[in-house]
């Protein structure tokens, strides 16, 4: 299923409402997830159609693995196999949401435009004064959609990291309350080192938030 998380509805799911949801939303203003995903997807389709070896290693493999992780959050498409590390990503060569190559002039198809991306770093750069407000509105929108898809008593586990100037534990629990979800539990991990001394992978405070539908 490929859909905007803010408009997800039980009618789109073959099983209707669900008992549990596990997700990791974008870290606000930290990465441009969609830019990476669309570039990699377009190149994978072109390589597949060209019949070349689609196995990626080293730096390229890292990018493909990052893309595979994001793709996997929506469920792999038909004919796809996802591997990480020294493994490979193999695509069927079919277009995904209208994307078959890097478009001329970089005019991306509907659904691949970064204008609609939640929490993108480029959005923070473009409109820094509006970013926090838009981020919170998007949080409320996707959590409201998640609430619609959860049965009564269903649980949602959310893993999220802080962005520049945004405490995502506060942000997520506030948005969840607006969406009608109850905070069941939370846990936070943070480095005790000064920001400039933190090792890669330990630079941001991260949270696990467990929410329940009443």
Q: What is the pLDDT of residues 96-146, one digit of tens each?
A: 666 777 777 777 777 777 778 899 999 999 999 999 999 999 999 999 999
pLDDT digits (tens, 9 = 90+) for 161-177: 999 789 999 999 999 99
- Please, what is the angle between helix 58-72 and helix 33-50, to 10°? 110
Residue 163: exposed, middle, or buried by beta-carbon count in 10 A (0-12, 13-18, 19+)?
Answer: buried
Confidence of residue 94 (pLDDT cuts 50, 70, 90): low
Q: What pTM was computed for the model?
A: 0.71
Helix (H, G, I), strand (E, B) or coil at 35: helix
């Amino acid at each position: 299923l490929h859909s905007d998380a803010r408009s997800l509805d039980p009618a789109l799911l073959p099983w209707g409402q669900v008992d549990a949801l596990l997700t990791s939303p974008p870290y606000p203003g930290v990465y441009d997830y969609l830019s990476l995903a669309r570039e990699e997807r377009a190149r994978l389709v072109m390589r597949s159609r060209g019949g070349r070896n689609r196995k990626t290693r080293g730096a390229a493999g890292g990018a493909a693995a990052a893309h595979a992780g994001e793709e996997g959050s929506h469920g792999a498409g038909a004919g796809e196999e996802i591997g990480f590390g020294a493994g490979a990503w193999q695509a069927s060569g079919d277009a995904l949401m209208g994307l078959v190559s890097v478009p001329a002039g970089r005019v991306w198809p509907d659904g691949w435009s970064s204008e609609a991306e939640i929490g993108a770093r480029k959005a923070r750069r473009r409109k820094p004064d509006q970013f926090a407000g838009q981020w919170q509105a998007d949080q409320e929108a996707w959590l409201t959609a998640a609430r619609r898809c959860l049965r009564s008593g269903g649980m949602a586990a959310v893993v999220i990291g802080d962005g520049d100037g945004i405490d995502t534990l506060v942000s997520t629990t506030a948005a969840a309350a607006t969406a009608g979800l109850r905070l069941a539990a939370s846990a936070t991990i943070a480095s005790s080192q000064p920001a400039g001394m933190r090792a890669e992978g330990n630079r941001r405070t991260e949270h696990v938030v467990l929410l329940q539908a009443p």
